[in-house]
């Protein structure tokens, strides 16, 4: 790897911009570009329109999921509200041949990926551990043990490379989870094997109740890359244009054989950690409303409308599609699916052990006795 | 007397320990401002300050390793693992260091730390939030493994764990956090290494612990209606194990069923069954049976009731204890394997 000697330090080309990259400011105007930042081109209006539409739909489905949780249809729901630019922008920057490694937080990323929302919500509905086909979607099961998925992403990216493919892996992680050992192991493995993986940190400022200040003393999480020799960048994660532009650069970097890329997206979790969490215990309403003013969706909508790329009819059209998809999700989630207890034994091994077969027979006999009783 | 939940009792035990011994510290993920996701550490930071109860970075190996280091300087850390399956990153620290330090150093370095682990299921939790991981710890020499089933024991055992000179993995059955008892705190119950007879009986001994104790008691009541007088033993501490109480009971009743929520294969229930067989062989009227979780990964919430050993399975096992001298070991099969 070539090392740039810059005044003040080696390997300066690996360092992130000193401040989060922002192409659109919170008012939806083009942001002035500082001279000391890496330069990124504003994506085309066509692509920004596509991101915007994805965000309109993603947010509507996220709000619907929260509502379904209140009605008892989901066991638990970690919301994505406020983080749509990250999840939609990042996913739209990769292709179907690339891999995605989501956490529990990434419902909107899964919707954007084209996973049927009902399948995406199966885990949280409590029917099964994963409702979609990870191979068909090239999307790993949503990961809960924090940071563990990152090492898988590095391995998958390396595997693709070894197979001669140019596919990359996009791995999501939260700010708090960067404290786990697996985050560091994944960065190091990816760098050592020059694996084409993009680590996308959604720094939403909290790990449940713990603020970032108690998590890390790094100037920004993006600075964690340089120690591993990984090119890194920090972005305004509520600026969909910055997300897309920097993701494009990261994908090009990884696909081009230059190894991994680390992105820290500064964003904010507008809802509580999950429906089971009481966020008023650790943050103020003022703090939350200040972030409302930085909303990623209205920012992009303002920009596109002002530039003449979007009109009222366009907005209505997207909102109508969002409503239809939310209604479809609601209807299908309201139908209580039958989960077959006998399926419990189906997928522990290719062949159940003799002991599992005995237990299977026991459960079968119990179910039989129950249905006799009911008859 | 007032009505106290297990969560209240644990919180009070932490409070009293912090107040009495300046070396006691509580730390982990979300234990400070939030008071823990189960509120077991509620108000500790507010009432005793950040020095005594604090949030750490999100890293379980770090939490346990850091606690070990603090022990070297005389502190007595009580650390929280947020959920059973999220303690696994710390397993290296626990198995290779925490459990072995006294032995490696010929007693020169001791580790008076408590690792609190909310464990087991029955609360509709999604994957990785419902593991019964006690077997891993019980299989590791050098760790005491404690699991209360009543608010009084929760208080008394946690106080004792914090005062203990050795590392204790303190396993809290999540499903019992909100269970209540009329109680005056501080309460002192039997010490480590003493099982409790929760129900006296003459025909069968149910040996159980933690989340399965209330289920076993329900099964005992139901069995009474069928004419079986069932004794229920709550182990309370898996390590150290109380052979004496268990053996005395089984020699008297002649029959034994071990009930545990953990997967049966290679687990604590098997250890109990083996110990009983070794010690009570000549008093047994029937093989010792186990009723345990199925040998599958803990399932999604909608199917957890099929996984969990319930009253019916326990009654079924009792029914198979050769009451009419007809061996019927192959009747229902596993979960209760002879
Ligand atoms: C190894 C591990 N430890 C603890 C947890 C419990 N837990 C779930 S989410 C969470 C906070 C994660 O915060 P962050 O990484 O910032 O992601 P966010 O939820 O904010 O998206 C914690 C502690 C877990 N899932 N895995
Ligand atoms: Mg976070």
Q: Tell me how far apart the alpha carbons of residues B185 and A97 are, in angstroms, rounded to a whole number.
A: 62
The nearest CA of chain A is from the CA of B227 a distance in Å of 22
A 10 A CB-CB count for A342 gives 12
- Asked whether residue B203 is assigned to any structural domain, the reply reads yes
Q: Is residue A145 within 6 Å of ligand 1 at its C-beta?
A: yes
The alpha carbon of A147 and the centre of ligand 1 are apart by a number of angstroms equal to 9
Q: Is residue B191 part of a domain?
A: no
Please indicate, yes or no, whether residues B48 and B142 belong to a single structural domain of this protein: yes
> Quick check: is B332 in a domain?
no
Same domain, B158 and B202: no
CB contact under 8 A, A356 and B296: yes
Please answer yes or no on whether A359 and B89 come within 8 Å at the CB atom. Answer: no
Average pLDDT over residues B53-69: 98
The answer as to whether B338 is a domain residue is: no
Contact at 8 Å (CB) between A301 and A31? no
Question: pLDDT tens digit string along A164-187?
Answer: 999 999 999 999 999 999 999 999
Report d(CA B189, CA B194) in Å as an integer: 10
Nearest to A208 among B34, B89, B296 (CB): B34
| Contact state of A358 with B57 under an 8 Å Cβ cutoff | no
Q: How far is B196 from chain A (nearest CA, A)?
A: 30
CB contact at 8 A, B301 and B126 = yes
CB of A205 within 6 A of ligand 1: the answer is: no
The band of A9, judged by pLDDT with boundaries at 50, 70 and 90, is low
CATH of the domain at B295: 3.40.50.920
Residue B268 lies in a domain: yes
For residues A19 and A226, the answer to whether their CB atoms sit within 8 Å is no
> Quick check: is B337 in a domain?
no
d(CA A101, CA A110): 10
- Parent domain of B149: 2-183
Q: How far apart are CA A280 and CA A305, in angstroms?
A: 35
What residues contact residue B333 under an 8 Å CB cut-off, 6+ apart?
A358, A359, A361, A362, A365
Taking alpha carbons only, the member of B179, B182, B311 closest to residue B257 is: B311
pLDDT of residue B331: 44
Quote the ligand 2 centre to A205 CA distance (angstroms).
Answer: 5
| 3-state secondary structure string across B269-326 | HHHHHHHHHHHHHHHCCCCCEEEEECCCCCCCHHHHHHHCCCHHHHHHHHHCCCCCCC
pLDDT by residue (tens digit) across A73-101? Answer: 999 999 999 999 999 999 999 999 999 99
DSSP H stretches of helix in B87-242: 91-92, 101-104, 134-138, 151-163, 213-225
A145 interfaces chain B, CB cutoff of 8 Å: yes
Q: Return the pLDDT at B324.
A: 80
What does residue B183 show for φ and ψ, rounded to 5 degrees?
A: -155, 150
Domain count, chain B: 2
Q: Which pLDDT score is estimated for A4?
A: 52
Q: Which residues of B touch A144 (CB under 8 A)?
A: 126-129
Judgement on whether residues B151 and B176 belong to the same structural domain of the protein: yes
**Least confident residue range of A42-51, A337-346, B69-78:** A337-346
Which B residues in the span 119-148 are in contact with A, Cβ-Cβ below 8 Å? 124-129
Same domain, B215 and B288: yes
For residue A143, pLDDT beyond 70: yes
Instruction: Measure A133 CA to nearest chain B CA, in Å.
Output: 17
Instruction: Assess contact for B242 and B292: CB atoms under 8 A.
Output: no
Question: Contact, A230 vs A262, CB < 8 A?
Answer: yes
Where is A334: in which H helix or E strand? Answer: helix A312-334
**Parallel, antiparallel, or unpaired: how do β-strands A197-203 and B230-234 relate?**
unpaired
Tell whether B14 and B137 lie within a shared domain: yes
- What is the average pLDDT score of chain A? 96
Q: Is the pLDDT of residue A3 over 80?
A: no
> Quick one: B204 and B179 in the same domain?
no
Task: Note the ipTM here.
Answer: 0.96
Rounded to whole angstroms, how far apart are CA atoms A169 and A260? 9
* Pair B236, B287 in one domain: yes
Q: Which residues of B18-152 form beta strands (DSSP E)? A: 24-28, 53-55, 76-80, 114-119, 144-146
Q: Is residue B14 part of a domain?
A: yes
- Positions of A annotated as catalytic residues are 269, 273, 282
Taking CB atoms and an 8 Å limit, are B89 and A182 in contact across chains?
Answer: yes
Domain harbouring B17, CATH code: 3.40.50.970
Nearest CA in chain B to A184: B59
Same domain? B144 vs B54: yes
* Minimal-distance CA residue to ligand 1 atom 13: A207
Predicted confidence band of residue A250 (pLDDT cuts 50, 70, 90)? very high
**What span, in angstroms and rounded, lies between the C-alpha atoms of B129 and A240?**
34
The CA distance from B114 to B120, in Å, is 18
Nearest ligand to the CA of B118 is 1
Q: Is A179 on the interface with B (CB under 8 A)?
A: yes
Per-residue pLDDT of B70-119, as tens digits, reads: 999 999 999 999 999 999 999 999 999 999 999 999 999 999 999 999 99
Cα distance between residue A58 and residue A325, in whole Å: 10
pLDDT digits (tens, 9 = 90+) for A253-272: 999 999 999 999 999 999 99
**Is residue B188 included in any domain, yes or no?**
no
Quick one: B240 and B127 in the same domain?
Answer: no
A-B Cβ pairs (cutoff 8 Å, strict): 125
**Same domain, yes or no: B248 and B171:** no
């Amino acid at each position: 790897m070539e090392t740039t000697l810059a005044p003040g330090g080696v390997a300066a080309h690996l360092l992130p911009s000193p401040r989060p990259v922002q192409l659109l400011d919170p008012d939806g105007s083009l942001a002035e570009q500082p001279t000391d930042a890496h330069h990124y081109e504003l994506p085309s209006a066509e692509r920004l329109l596509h991101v915007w539409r994805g965000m309109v739909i993603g947010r509507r489905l996220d709000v619907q999921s929260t509502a379904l949780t209140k009605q008892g249809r989901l066991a638990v729901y970690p919301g994505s509200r406020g983080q749509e630019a990250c999840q939609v922008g990042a996913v739209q920057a990769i292709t179907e041949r690339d891999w995605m490694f989501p956490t529990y937080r990434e419902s909107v990323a899964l919707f954007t990926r084209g996973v049927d929302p009902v399948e995406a919500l199966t885990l949280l509905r409590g029917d099964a551990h994963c409702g979609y086909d990870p191979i068909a979607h090239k999307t790993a099961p949503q990961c809960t043990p924090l940071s563990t998925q990152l090492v898988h992403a590095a391995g998958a990216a390396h595997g693709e490379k070894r197979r001669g493919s140019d596919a990359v892996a996009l791995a999501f992680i939260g700010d708090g989870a960067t404290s786990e050992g697996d985050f560091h192991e994944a960065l190091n493995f990816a760098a050592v094997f020059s694996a084409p993986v993009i680590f996308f940190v959604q720094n939403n400022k909290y790990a449940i109740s713990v603020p970032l200040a108690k998590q890390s003393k790094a100037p920004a999480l993006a600075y964690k890359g340089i120690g591993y020799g990984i090119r890194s960048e920090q972005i305004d994660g509520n600026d969909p244009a910055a997300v897309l532009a920097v993701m494009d650069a990261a994908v090009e970097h990884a696909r081009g054989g230059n190894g991994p890329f680390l992105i820290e997206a500064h964003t904010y979790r507008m809802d509580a950690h999950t429906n089971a969490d009481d966020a008023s215990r650790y943050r103020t309403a003022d703090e939350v409303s200040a972030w409302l003013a930085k909303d990623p969706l209205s920012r992009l909508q303002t920009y596109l409308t002002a530039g003449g790329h979007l009109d009222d009819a366009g907005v209505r059209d997207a909102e109508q599609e969002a409503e239809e998809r939310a209604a479809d999700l609601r209807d299908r989630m309201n139908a209580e699916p039958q989960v077959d207890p006998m399926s419990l034994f189906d997928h522990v091994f290719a062949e159940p052990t003799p002991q599992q077969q005995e237990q299977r027979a026991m459960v079968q006999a119990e179910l039989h006795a129950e249905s006799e009783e009911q008859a | 007397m007032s009505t106290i939940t297990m969560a209240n009792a644990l919180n009070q035990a932490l409070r009293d320990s912090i107040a009495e011994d300046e070396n006691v510290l509580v730390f982990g993920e979300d234990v400070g401002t939030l008071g823990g996701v189960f509120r077991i550490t509620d108000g500790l930071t507010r009432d005793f300050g950040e020095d005594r109860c604090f949030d750490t970075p999100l890293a379980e190996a770090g939490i346990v390793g850091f606690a070990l280091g603090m022990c070297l300087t005389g502190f007595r850390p009580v650390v929280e693992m947020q959920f059973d399956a999220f303690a696994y990153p710390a397993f290296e620290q626990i198995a290779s260091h925490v459990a072995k330090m006294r032995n490696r150093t010929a007693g020169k370095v001791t580790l008076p730390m408590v690792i609190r682990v909310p464990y087991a299921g029955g609360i509709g939790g999604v994957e990785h939030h419902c593991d019964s991981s006690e077997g891993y710890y019980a299989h590791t020499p050098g760790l005491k493994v404690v699991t209360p089933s009543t608010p009084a024991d929760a208080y008394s055992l946690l106080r004792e764990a914090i005062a203990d000179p050795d590392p204790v993995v303190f396993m809290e059955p999540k499903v019992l956090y909100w269970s209540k008892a009329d109680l005056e705190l501080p309460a002192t119950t039997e010490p480590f290494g003493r099982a409790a007879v929760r129900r006296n009986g003459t025909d069968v001994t149910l040996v159980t612990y933690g989340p399965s104790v209330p289920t076993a008691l329900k099964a005992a009541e139901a069995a009474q209606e069928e004419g079986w007088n069932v004794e229920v033993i709550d182990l309370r501490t898996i390590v150290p194990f109380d052979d004496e109480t268990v053996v005395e009971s089984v020699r008297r009743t002649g029959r034994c069923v071990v009930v545990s929520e953990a997967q049966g294969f290679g687990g604590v229930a098997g250890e109990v069954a083996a110990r009983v067989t070794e010690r009570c062989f000549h008093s047994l009227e029937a093989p010792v049976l186990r009723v345990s979780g199925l040998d599958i990964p803990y399932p999604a919430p909608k199917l957890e009731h099929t996984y969990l050993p319930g009253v019916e399975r326990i009654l079924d096992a009792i029914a198979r204890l050769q009451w009419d001298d007809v061996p019927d070991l192959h009747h229902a099969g596993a979960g209760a394997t002879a």
